Chain A
Amino acid sequence: QSALTQPASVSGSPGQSITISCTGTSSDVGSYNLVSWYQQHPGKVPKLIIYEGSKRPSGVSNRFSGSKSGNTASLTISGLQAEDEADYYCCSYAGTTTFWVFGGGTKLTVL
């Protein structure tokens, strides 16, 4: 069982927006602004798309955005495209005993 809780699946039509939640605790998501999000296509390596809660690495589309409220972080993808269909994972720093925890992943289906 993963430390961070994500919905198993979400779906949306092209052009729509979707949001994926990532719920942790006051020991991880709630205590640090160090949530990152990763996109993983089948058989591929995870790719960083959001870091420090809401920052985008160079080259990542501005259709991807991140936010946090309390113990829950969120990833929003606007203007859904077929290429966005993938698994998405959140990750948070969790202090000097646990270090890093991941969510169980969310499968995004573009209808």
Chain B
Amino acid sequence: QVQLQQSGPGLVKPSQTLSLTCAISGDSVSSNSAAWNWIRQSPSRGLEWLGRTYYRSKWYSNYAVSVKSRISVNPDTSKNQFSLQLNSVTPEDTAVYYCARAGGGTMVTMFDYWGQGTLVTVSS
């Protein structure tokens, strides 16, 4: 059974960097049949896919156009986890942030396991 455990601060000041970590159990961040994603949810923006990292003989990362200039999703193979960094945050980045596994094989097709969610508030 795959489990994802999120950690990170719930309050970030405007213009600073939001950093979250997602620890994986029951699977490997280096799996060739999964991708590791960050998704956020807010009343104003609904569910929004932010980015992912995955391994297919080498590491790849992809990002949503809306945050591409500010985001980084990185694997940590030594700890079997992955992280989200979102720079220059504003109050519009206030949301519940989820990490999620995309499964279904080499061509991932759905988000089958989710972390518990972290409410991140951007406020001074």
A interface residues (Cβ-Cβ under 8 A, vs B): 2, 34, 36, 38, 45-48, 51-52, 57, 89, 91, 93, 96-105
Contact = CB atoms under 8 A, between A and B. Distances in A.
Contacts of B115: 45
B110 A36 contact: yes
Interface in B33-81: 37, 45-49, 52, 62, 64-65
Contact of B46 (A34, A51, A57, A104): A104
Interface of B: 37, 45-49, 52, 62, 64-65, 98, 104, 109-112, 114-117
Contacts of A52: 104, 109-110
A109 B48 CA distance: 24
Contacts of A105: 46-47
A68 to B, nearest CB: 14
Q: Is the interface of B mostly helix, strand, loop or mixed?
A: strand
29 contacts: A2-B45, A2-B46, A2-B47, A36-B110, A38-B111, A45-B98, A45-B117, A46-B47, A46-B114, A48-B110, A48-B112, A51-B104, A52-B104, A52-B109, A52-B110, A89-B47, A91-B47, A91-B110, A91-B111, A93-B109, A97-B65, A98-B64, A99-B52, A99-B64, A100-B49, A102-B47, A102-B48, A105-B46, A105-B47
B65 A48 contact: no
Contacts of B37: 100
B109 A98 contact: no
A96 B49 CA distance: 13
A48 B111 contact: yes
